[in-house]
Amino acid sequence: MKKKLLSVLLSTAMVAALLAGCNKKAEESTQPSETGSIVPGDAGNVVDVETLEDTGDTLTIYVWNDEWKDFFWQYMPGVDYTKVTDEDGNEKFPLEGKLGDLKVVFKQTPSTDGAYQKSLDDAIKNGDDMDLFLVEADYAKKYTIDGVALPLGELGITNEELADQFAYTQQVVTSDGVLYGSSWQTCGAGMIYNREIAKEVLGSDDPDTVQAAVSDWDKFEEVAGKMKDAGYLMTPRASTTYRVFSNNVSTPWVVDNKINLDESIKKWIDMSKRMVDAKQTKTGDLWNTEDAFNKNTTFCVFGPAWYFNFCMGYDESDDVESIAEKGGWGLCQGPQAHYWGGTWICVGANTDNIKTCSDVVKTMTLDKDVLKKLVEEQSQDCNSKELAAQYANDPNFGNKILGGQNPYAIFSKCIDQIDVSVMTENDQYFNEQIQLAMDEYFDGKLSYDDAYAQFEQKVKEKVPGLQ
Amino acid sequence: MSQVKKGKVVSFNKWGYIFLIPFFVTYLFFQLVPLVTTFYYGFFEYYEKGIKDYGPYFYGIKNYIALFSGKLLLKYSLNTLIMWIIGFIPQIAVSLLLGAWFSDARLRLKAAAVYKVIIYLPNLIMASAFSMLFFTLFDDNGPVNGLLMALNIVPEGEPFRFFRYTLSSRSLVGFMNFLMWFGNTTILLMAGMLGIDQSLYEAAEVDGATPTQVFWRITLPLLRPILVYVVITSLIGGLQMFDVPQILTNGAGTPADSTTTLIMFLNNNISGNVNYGVGGALSVVLFIITGVLSMIVYKVSTQKED
């Protein structure tokens, strides 16, 4: 009898434990304050900040890399965290910490192969806690829509507060005339060249002289020939120039549900093939080019302000002294104006910490003091017309990496020429796959037709339903 | 009297069933339901469009027609098969040799247990971590190229680009699979060899057979059932090849799509905007192939008892 009782007890406990897992968290379904219909305009209907309230205890933030996470811990007032040590023994900012009484959790997924988008999709579909999430220009259109993100007006952010932002940064995250995100940075980009090599081959490292030498793509290729003769690469990778061409397209990737290859991309393919064949550049991974940043091997790269500190090895703790640390780079506009990337902060539509989210968006993207720190300490290019003009005209403001040159004038000029009207929500897949496929064409592994067929096939796998 | 006994048996059975519940519930929700839905959606046009879904609209067997009329299924099957063979040939050869040594009592190997553990170790590393390691080792700027340059095998500044050539990429994948699995195969074959009657070996020795003759005439024929089992299970494992080439090529199957395996093909259809229809159809095809292979294993292993 006792045995029987025991077995009944055990099995009940077991089945109960099994069922416990099915108890879904269903109680938290707090709605953000109702605001009524949104008037087409910038921020939409603006609610009073005072009425916003937090109800959750965790602030969940979706990111794909460390960049903004590190800014958050450094510049958001009221944060509390302990640095962690990574496998190489370097100190890093953590993925978890506190902001006031709230627990802060960063959910990090790399963006390669659409993995980050997948993490957002899953969170949105499952209704997971997603208070803040970051998006890139390549797929911003997909997430800055009603029901996924909150219009800035619902966070109590007014049009006046947003007036100082650059128009293109708002255009990217506008849907039906309403703003769904905000960015602290602009990503006007230029040609970053190695000063020593410029002196040796072009006779001068003055930005105007260099600019004159590369003012269009024919001249650019001409210089590439000179660089080759002098024993240098023009660019580290064929894909280094990709963004310049892809930003200057006049048609979108998809027209009438068919894949469309813009003339500008075709031009990139032709030029890159010639340059690879002439050994003026190399094929391979764009992100694996330390050689160009540490040794005098390569004449130029293309990039925006974030490229300086994030990629070019401006890292004083490193044992290799990079060219950036010596201030050995110069900046000019290059053959065509372009921008690269940009990160926007959006607030999830079902956030349970709307007050804090509003605070974070305001502090991290609109607060002039934070923006100044981002410019001065992190080489960011800030999203404020007023500050940008101020920096552009400040003779004392120079960038250490650029040997004291002031990048603002060049970047600002770039920003004015940026046109983001032909973006599609799947641009990331097109941009990734065309570079991958064409790299094999440049390498001679595939004929152009085969490479293009491979690109088409891979894109269709990523974006079903294309013709 | 007999009635009481019967009653007891029944009540014991009841407990047995209750304790089986966790397995069946887990199986039902995490295996059977997804399995059935996979079959089901294979017949639909159903995919993600942005964060919304398109479909499901009934599509008949059009997903299957598209799969079989396209060249990709065949191409990726061949890729998978070739990389499996590259890994399996050394795997079975080395395993047979090691198995023969370990199971041969006359060799009096010292510390055999230590070696058995060591050869099994690579299998304990996560395949993705192992793959990442090779990715770094054979990178253009990696230590292998550093070594090749230091030994003047390749010119300074012009590394051998392992991941740019079909043969070297496929060989690396095969080599990694070999390293990860030969220990496991050795253990299996050794178990088979230890099951062979020792008196046969003794008789052969008395008759003056050489070790080579013993291996080919006695060990191998008697090992056949377990050998078939090893080949087929390895083939099933090979069909599922995914993490190694996926990580080694960053999901791109480079060069020229020559290292894309069937499961990577599946993954391409369900990463990005998920295509439930095509993904389902492809899974069903893989399911059938694996099912047929499993049936062969079952046939072979039951034949042994006759």
pLDDT of residue A100: 85
Give me the tens of pLDDT residue by residue for chain B, a chain 306 residues long.
444 555 555 567 788 888 899 999 999 999 899 889 888 888 888 887 777 778 788 787 888 888 888 788 888 989 998 999 999 999 999 998 888 888 877 777 788 788 888 888 888 888 888 888 888 888 887 888 888 888 888 887 778 888 888 888 999 999 999 998 998 899 888 888 888 888 888 888 888 888 888 888 888 888 888 888 888 888 888 888 898 898 888 878 878 888 899 898 888 888 777 888 888 999 999 999 888 888 887 887 776 544
- Label residue A90 left, alpha or beta by phi (over 0 means left) and psi (-120 to 50 means alpha): beta
Q: Do B256 and A121 touch (CB under 8 A)?
A: no
pLDDT of residue A420: 77
Q: For residues A392 and A412, is the Cβ–Cβ distance under 8 A?
A: yes
Q: Does B15 touch chain A (CB under 8 A)?
A: yes
Burial of residue B137 (number of CB atoms within 10 Å: 0-12, 13-18, 19+):
middle
Q: Give the residue from chain A lying closest to B270, CA to CA.
A: A462
Q: For residues A354 and A52, is the Cβ–Cβ distance under 8 A?
A: yes
Q: How confident is the model at residue A14 (pLDDT cuts 50, 70, 90)?
A: low
Closest CA to A430 of A118, A138, A115, A64: A138
Q: For residues A462 and A429, is the Cβ–Cβ distance under 8 A?
A: yes
Query: Which member of A285, A454, A465 has the closest CB to residue B257?
Result: A454
Q: Does A454 touch chain B (CB under 8 A)?
A: yes
Alpha carbon of A196: minimum distance to chain B alpha carbons (Å)? 21
At A141 the three-state DSSP class reads: helix
CATH 3.40.190.10 boundaries in chain A: 49-185+342-382, 188-339+393-462
Distance (Å) of CA A349 to CA A33, A342, A357, B28, B261: 11, 22, 11, 34, 39
Neighbours of A309 (CB within 10 A): 18
Interface size, chain A vs chain B, as Cβ–Cβ contacts under 8 Å: 83
Q: Give the residue from chain B lying closest to A288, CA to CA.
A: B141
Alpha carbon of B52: minimum distance to chain A alpha carbons (Å)? 9
d(CA B218, CA B213) in angstroms, rounded, equals: 8
Q: Do A445 and B256 touch (CB under 8 A)?
A: yes
d(CA A453, CA A464) in angstroms, rounded, equals: 16
Q: Do B141 and A290 touch (CB under 8 A)?
A: yes
Closest CA to A97 of A60, A132, A46: A60
Distance (Å) of CA A103 to CA A25, A57, A64: 18, 6, 20
Chain A positions in Cβ-Cβ contact with residue B140 (cut-off 8 Å) = 284, 288
Amino acid identity, position A52:
L
Q: Does B268 touch chain A (CB under 8 A)?
A: yes
Convert the pLDDT of each residue in A425-436 to its tens digit: 788 889 888 998
pLDDT of residue A30: 33
d(CA A61, CA A49) in angstroms, rounded, equals: 21
Q: Do A462 and B278 touch (CB under 8 A)?
A: no
Average pLDDT over residues A256-279: 90
Least confident of A118-122, A203-207, B135-139, B152-156: B152-156
- Torsions phi, psi for A72 (to 5 deg): -60, -50
Q: Do A440 and B256 touch (CB under 8 A)?
A: yes
Neighbours of A339 (CB within 10 A): 26
Q: Give the residue from chain B lying closest to A126, CA to CA.
A: B51
β-strand pairing of A132-136 with A174-175: unpaired
Crossing angle of helices B72-103 and B62-69, in 10° steps, is: 70
Q: Do B48 and A121 touch (CB under 8 A)?
A: yes
d(CA B70, CA B76) in angstroms, rounded, equals: 11
Neighbours of B73 (CB within 10 A): 16
Q: Do B21 and A426 touch (CB under 8 A)?
A: no
Convert the pLDDT of each residue in A29-86 to its tens digit: 333 333 333 233 367 777 777 777 778 888 899 999 888 888 999 898 888 888 888 7
Q: Does B122 touch chain A (CB under 8 A)?
A: no
- Torsions phi, psi for A329 (to 5 deg): -110, 155
Q: Do B22 and A14 touch (CB under 8 A)?
A: yes
Q: Does B164 touch chain A (CB under 8 A)?
A: yes
Query: Which member of B51, B251, B268 has the closest CB to residue A142?
Result: B51
Chain B positions in Cβ-Cβ contact with residue A285 (cut-off 8 Å) = 250
Q: Does B167 touch chain A (CB under 8 A)?
A: no
Between residues 2 and 61 of chain A, which touch chain B (CB distance below 8 Å)?
7, 11, 14-15, 18
Alpha carbon of A140: minimum distance to chain B alpha carbons (Å)? 11
Q: For residues B294 and B236, is the Cβ–Cβ distance under 8 A?
A: yes
Q: Give the residue from chain A lying closest to B54, CA to CA.
A: A465
d(CA B236, CA B181) in angstroms, rounded, equals: 13
Would you state the CATH architecture of domain B71-271? Orthogonal Bundle (1.10)
Across chain A, mean pLDDT equals 81
The secondary structure of residue A149, as a DSSP letter, is B
Alpha carbon of B17: minimum distance to chain A alpha carbons (Å)? 10
Q: Do B250 and A112 touch (CB under 8 A)?
A: yes
Q: Do B51 and A125 touch (CB under 8 A)?
A: yes
Query: Which member of B18, B164, B269 has the closest CB to residue A11?
Result: B18
Would you state the CATH architecture of domain A49-185+342-382? 3-Layer(aba) Sandwich (3.40)
Average pLDDT over residues A194-199: 86
Number of residues in chain A: 467
Q: Report the greatest alpha carbon distance in chain A.
A: 99
Superfamily (CATH H level) for A188-339+393-462 = Periplasmic binding protein-like II (3.40.190.10)
pLDDT of residue A86: 79
DSSP letters for chain B: -HHHHHHHHHHHHHHHHHHHHHHHHHHIIIIIHHHHHHHHHTTEEEEEETTEEEEEEE-TTHHHHHHHHSSHHHHHHHHHHHHHHHHHHHHHHHHHHHHHHHH-GGG--TTHHHHHHHHHGGGGS-HHHHHHHHHHHTSTTSHHHHHHHHTTSS-TT----GGGSHHHHHHHHHHHHHHHHHHHHHHHHHHHHHTS-HHHHHHHHHTT--HHHHIIIIIHHHHHHHHHHHHHHHHHHHHT--HHHHHHTTTS--STT-S--HHHHHHHHHSSS-BHHHHHHHHHHHHHHHHHHHHHHHHHHHHTT-
pLDDT of residue A9: 61
d(CA B302, CA B222) in angstroms, rounded, equals: 15
Average pLDDT over residues A230-255: 88
pLDDT of residue A5: 59
Q: Does A125 touch chain B (CB under 8 A)?
A: yes
- Torsions phi, psi for B31 (to 5 deg): -120, -55
Asked if residue A324 has pLDDT above 50, the reply is yes
Convert the pLDDT of each residue in B109-130 to its tens digit: 788 788 888 888 888 888 888 8
pLDDT of residue A34: 33
Asked if residue A155 has pLDDT above 50, the reply is yes
Q: Does B256 touch chain A (CB under 8 A)?
A: yes
Q: Does A229 touch chain B (CB under 8 A)?
A: no
Q: Does A465 touch chain B (CB under 8 A)?
A: yes
Query: Which member of B21, B48, B49 has the closest CB to residue A15?
Result: B21
DSSP letters for A393-408: T-TT---GGGTT---H
At A99 the three-state DSSP class reads: strand
Q: Do A462 and B268 touch (CB under 8 A)?
A: yes
- Label residue A279 left, alpha or beta by phi (over 0 means left) and psi (-120 to 50 means alpha): left
At A188 the three-state DSSP class reads: strand
pLDDT of residue B25: 92
pLDDT of residue A344: 92
Token pair 């003759």 is found at B213
